[in-house]
Amino acid sequence: MTLSADVAIVGGGITGLALAVELARLGRREILVLERRFSGAGGSGRNVGRIRAMQLTEELARFAIAAQAKHARLADELGANTLFWRAGYGWVLYEEAEMTRMAEVRDMLRGLGLRPELIGRAETLRRLPVLEGGERPAGALLHRDAIVHHDAVLHAYRAAARKLGVRLMEGIEALAVLANAGKVEGLRSGAGDILAPVVVNAAGGWSGAFSAKAGVRIPNTPLRREALVTEAAQPFMRAAITFYRPREGWFNQTLRGELVAGCLAPAEEPGVNLAATALSLGRTARTILAKAPRLGQLRVVRQWAGVYDMTPDRKPLVGPVARLQGFVQANGCNGRGFLLGPLIGELLARWLDSGERPPLLAGFDADRFDGREDAKVEAGDYYAGYAAGGQRG
């Protein structure tokens, strides 16, 4: 069987679906999305929907602010409620040195138009009472950030894709990229060959491996991150909390009332591994309860692992590849894919349609690692990699 498409997108996660829908909204037809299992089987279905504008570097923060604004208007664009909820976000700090560093991050974010607040110990406990009885915080950086429900977003995209005539093929794997004379001709898939002049790599954690199939090596490295979820309780906290000391951890209460939580595994080996570990249960419980002991009463119902698509400079790869005409990257979101996917989809669709790169994508050149394909991804403490003022140290 041979199919043909104008654009073939590999990966039925949020980036792939967003790109497909945006292309169709621009009037493009014959858009095909190929998904190995089902849409949301990878990172898009394994995240907790925290979409944070408050990023550590100016370049990322600028893009994240636009990406969050995209999420805010997504419901109206797609005609379905995505449960976009301004729950708020708190970076809780436990060392005085962090307060100094965060003052500079706050100033940088203010320069971009956000209104984050850096507050002291007493105010932190007043505003985030879930921390009572835990380790004494030094302060917190708070911002009115948002949380979405990942399934609500994916289902809204699915419905829009169907309405716009996008072809979503689930349970079908992209096996190889067909190319001739430096030009993409299509894909070899589990359902036969698909002829397409443009192939987009939106495979999330599998992007590095898929790009290699096209003969385009990129340094993207999959990294497992684990999470757990408890049974629901009545509202006990609102703002999502993240902290980095002594070890990175995060937790928040979902709209439904469950606690979701996770923490960094310091010795995590790179690679696609979606198996949850027993030790992460203990590590997460210890890390979270040291900060918010009252949460120990909640019963854990499930744990799972997701995958980050990491790049050496923590920035995505978006756009056509010079070495292979018709091959396009839309990946490398470093654990922020659910935030960035919709905006990447919109901007890349405009780029593919008009041939002109939108200025916001300037820093995310898909060819910037040419010649440095073996650049290493630091898997550990990424917060420590940033010097004061949001510059990479």
Binding residues (CB under 8 A) for another protein: these are: 37-41, 45, 72, 75-76, 79-81, 83-86, 133, 151-152, 154-156, 158, 162, 170-171, 230-236, 255-257, 259, 275-279, 281-283, 285-286, 288-289, 293-304
DSSP tag of 149: -
Least Å distance, CB 78 to another protein, is 10
Q: In the chain, what is the straight-line distance between the N-terminal and C-terminal CA atoms, in Å?
A: 52
Least Å distance, CB 234 to another protein, is 5
Of 31 and 108, nearer to another protein (C-beta) is: 31
Least Å distance, CB 266 to another protein, is 12
Residue 247's CB is within 10 A of a number of other CB atoms, namely 15
DSSP tag of 389: G
Q: Which two tokens stand for residue 329?
A: 């990257």
The strand pair at 89-93 and 240-243 is best described as: parallel
What does 75-121 look like in DSSP terms, one character per residue? HHHHTS----B---EEEEE-SHHHHHHHHHHHHHHHHTT---EEEEH
Q: Which two tokens stand for residue 342?
A: 């919709």
Of 6 and 170, nearer to another protein (C-beta) is: 170
Least Å distance, CB 290 to another protein, is 8
Residue 273, exposed/middle/buried by CB under 10 A (0-12, 13-18, 19+)? middle
Least Å distance, CB 374 to another protein, is 30
Beta strand spans in 183-292 (E): 183-189, 192-195, 198-201, 221-232, 240-243, 249-253, 258-263
Least Å distance, CB 134 to another protein, is 9
Distance CA 122, CA 231 (A): 30
Of 68 and 201, nearer to another protein (C-beta) is: 68
Distance CA 141, CA 55 (A): 11
Of 74 and 318, nearer to another protein (C-beta) is: 74
Of 18 and 78, nearer to another protein (C-beta) is: 78
The identity of residue 388, as a single letter, is A
Of 74 and 352, nearer to another protein (C-beta) is: 74
Least Å distance, CB 124 to another protein, is 19
Of 28 and 150, nearer to another protein (C-beta) is: 150
Query: Taking Cα atoms as reference points, which of 331, 280, 312 lies closest to residue 379?
Result: 312
